[in-house]
Amino acid sequence: MRAQNQNSTIPDSLTLENGSRVAVIGGGPAGSFFAYFLLRIAALVDVDVHVDIFEPRYFTHCGPAGCNHCGGIISESLVQLLATEGINLPPEVVQQGIDSYQLHMDVGQVRIETPLHEKRIAAVYRGNGPRDSEPRQLLGFDRFLQELAQASGARIVRRLVSKVEIERSRVHIACANGLTREYDLVAVASGINTALLQQIAKAGSAPAVPKPLTTFICEFRLGKEVVEKHFGSSMHVFLMDLPRLEFAALIPKGDFVTMCMLGKDVDTQLVEAFLNSPEVRECFPDSRVPNNVCHCFPRINIQPPPQPFGDRFVMVGDSGVTRLYKDGIGSAYRTAKAAAATTMLHGIAENDFRRYFAPTCRTINRDNAIGSLIFSGSHLFQKWRFSRRAILRMTTLEQQGDAAARHMSSILWDVFSGSAPYREVLGRAFHPGFVTGLAGSLVAGNWPFAKSRN
C-alpha cells in the first residue's frame, strides 16, 4: 500500500486487484488501445481483471452505422510504433498506401514524395466503408483494434452508455436500455461527438470537457480505375486563401475518395466555396465534382480539459488530450498506453494519474502550443499570393534535386502527415538552409511577375 497523500485525508491507495472490473466507454482506437494494453500489462504482472468495452456501433456495417467520423490516415510514425508493438496492419485494413502528397495552389501544383520512398502512410476506413459500398473483403481499422482487444480478453458490450456516476468506492454505469453495472475504474474514450462528456462534467466527475471544432468529411464514389488515374497513390492537399480553412485534402481509398476539411467551424458555405474552386475541380474527371454518397460534420478536440483524470476515471483519446489537427489516432495510442500502464503498475487514484499519466498529456499539450504557432504562420503564407509562389518554387526545386536538402518539402510533409512533433517542424523552420532557400524563392519566384507588370 502506498503512503497517504500529505495534502489529503484520503489515502492514495486505489489499485486494481484480481477480479477488479474495468469499463471502457467507446470502442474506437483509444478505447481498444487502452483495453489491449491494460490486459497485456495485467498478464505480465499476473493480475486477473475483467474489461468491458461499451460500444453500440457495429464496425461491420457500411455508412453511418459503422462510421467513426474520421478521415482515416495513419501516420508513418504510428505505423512504425504499432510495428514495434507487434501490431502489423493487414492488407484488408489498408485501403491505400500513400507514397506522396500532391500540393495544389492557385499558382500551381507540386508532388512531394515520401522522404524514404516507402508507402508507410496508410489510408484506412474507420468503419466498414461508406454508404453504398459494394460487399467486399474489408476490415475497418476500428474493428481490427477491437478484435485485438477481444483476443486479449476484453468483452464488447453493445450498449450505449447514458450515465456515469463515479464514487470513491466504485463506478456506476447506466445504459440507455436500463442495464446498470458497477466497476472499479472507467476509461472514457467516447470522443467528443457525444453528450456523455457533458453529463460526466455536470455530475462533477470531471472539471471540464474538451473545446470542440466542427470539421467536414465526405465520400465520393468514382470507381477504382478512375481513382487510380486521377488521384494515384497521392494524398491531395490544398493550400488556399479561403477564410476559416485550416486544412483540406482528398484521400484515395479504393473505389472512393475521402474529402476532409478542418477549419474554424466548417459549414456548408465553406464546403461549397472549397468544392467550387478551380484547384479542387481539376482533380476530378471533366473538372466536375460528383455528389457525395455520405457526409458528416464531426467535431474534433482543439482544447483538452485541464485535468482528464480523477479517482477511478481517466479520459483518453479525443475525450481527453489529443494532438492539434493531426494524428489523432497516434494521440489515442499514446494516451491509452500511458493510462493503461499507470492503471496496472501504479494505481487508479487521482494522484497516480497526476504523477504517471499527466506527463504524457503535458507533452502533447506543449507540442500543441508550438503547433498553434506553426498554423498561425502558415495562414500568412496561405493569404499572400507571392508567398504561395515562393513555396511552389522552393518545393519544386527540392523535388528535382538533392533529397538531403529538402527543407521545405520535409516541413510540408510532416505538417500534412503529422508524422513528426511540431517542435521538430519548428526547429527545421529555423535551419539556415530553409531560411536562405525561402528568402531566395520569395525573390526569384516573384521577380518574373513583378517584371511583367512594369
Q: List the CATH number of the domain containing 356.
A: 3.50.50.60
pLDDT of residue 452: 43
Looking at the structure, tell me whether residues 338 and 441 fall in a common domain.
no
pLDDT of residue 10: 45
Looking at the structure, tell me whether residues 395 and 420 fall in a common domain.
yes
Looking at the structure, tell me whether residues 222 and 254 fall in a common domain.
yes
- Whether 64 is covered by a domain: the verdict is no
Considering the entire predicted model, what is its pTM? 0.87
- Whether 230 is covered by a domain: the verdict is yes
pLDDT of residue 94: 80
pLDDT of residue 2: 38
The cell for 136 is 467486399
Residue-range definition of the domain harbouring residue 424: 384-453
Q: Domain ends where: 272, 297, 322?
A: 297
The stretch 354-373 carries a mean pLDDT of 95
The cell for 302 is 482543439
pLDDT band at 91 (very low <50, low <70, confident <90, very high): confident
pLDDT band at 334 (very low <50, low <70, confident <90, very high): very high
Looking at the structure, tell me whether residues 290 and 225 fall in a common domain.
yes
Q: Domain ends where: 297, 320, 343?
A: 297
pLDDT of residue 11: 46
Looking at the structure, tell me whether residues 354 and 222 fall in a common domain.
no
The cell for 368 is 500543441
Looking at the structure, tell me whether residues 187 and 330 fall in a common domain.
yes
- Whether 77 is covered by a domain: the verdict is no
If one compares 38 and 405, the residue with the highest pLDDT of the two is 38
Q: Domain ends where: 270, 297, 324?
A: 297
If one compares 303 and 24, the residue with the highest pLDDT of the two is 24
The total domain count for the chain is 3
Looking at the structure, tell me whether residues 314 and 281 fall in a common domain.
no
Looking at the structure, tell me whether residues 205 and 225 fall in a common domain.
no
Looking at the structure, tell me whether residues 308 and 438 fall in a common domain.
no
- Whether 326 is covered by a domain: the verdict is yes
Of 6-20, 185-199, 289-303, 414-428, the poorest mean pLDDT is in 6-20
pLDDT of residue 416: 86
Of 22-26, 58-62, 101-105, 331-335, the poorest mean pLDDT is in 58-62
If one compares 122 and 256, the residue with the highest pLDDT of the two is 256
Give me the sign of the Cα torsion angle 281, 285, 291, 297. negative
Give the whole-angstrom CA distance, residue 406 versus residue 389.
Answer: 17
- Whether 346 is covered by a domain: the verdict is yes
Looking at the structure, tell me whether residues 220 and 284 fall in a common domain.
yes
The cell for 371 is 503547433
Residue 257, strand partner residues: 220, 252
pLDDT of residue 449: 53
Looking at the structure, tell me whether residues 109 and 237 fall in a common domain.
yes
- To which H or E segment does residue 84 belong? helix 76-84
- Could you give the 3-state DSSP secondary structure of residue 364? helix
- Whether 278 is covered by a domain: the verdict is yes
Looking at the structure, tell me whether residues 286 and 427 fall in a common domain.
no
Of 54-68, 142-156, 251-265, 429-443, the poorest mean pLDDT is in 54-68
